Amino acid sequence: MRGTFVKVVNEDQTANATLIQAPTLVLWGARDQETPVEMAHRFGRLIPRSEVVVLPEQDHFPFAGSGVHTCAQIIGDFC
């Protein structure tokens, strides 16, 4: 299982990200210990019509726990 996880995490999605045509909201927790916040900005540069929102007090799952209401508001404004 770990091998599969490592492969997924390390897979280069650059080409796929550039193909996304739909307006895309990238929500990221600034305190994410698993995936650095720089990845949010990288996706923002790669995905056309994207908006990156970094939530200062959130971690890897900003849409869960204390960030759920903030994320819901941001998503509502985006849509």
CATH number at residue 39: 3.40.50.1820
Decide: 47 and 15 in contact? Cβ < 8 Å. Answer: no
| Helix, strand, coil in percent for the chain, rounding step 5 | 50, 15, 35
Residue 38: which domain range? 2-78
**Overall number of domains in the chain:** 1
Per-residue pLDDT of the chain (79 residues; tens, 9 = 90+): 677 766 766 788 889 999 999 999 999 999 999 888 999 999 999 999 999 999 999 999 988 888 899 999 999 999 9
Cα–Cα distances in Å, from 24 out to 2, 37, 53, 65, 67?
30, 17, 11, 23, 19
User: What is the reported pTM?
Assistant: 0.82
User: Using CA atoms in the order 50, 62, 9, 20, what is the torsion angle rounded to 10 degrees?
Assistant: -20
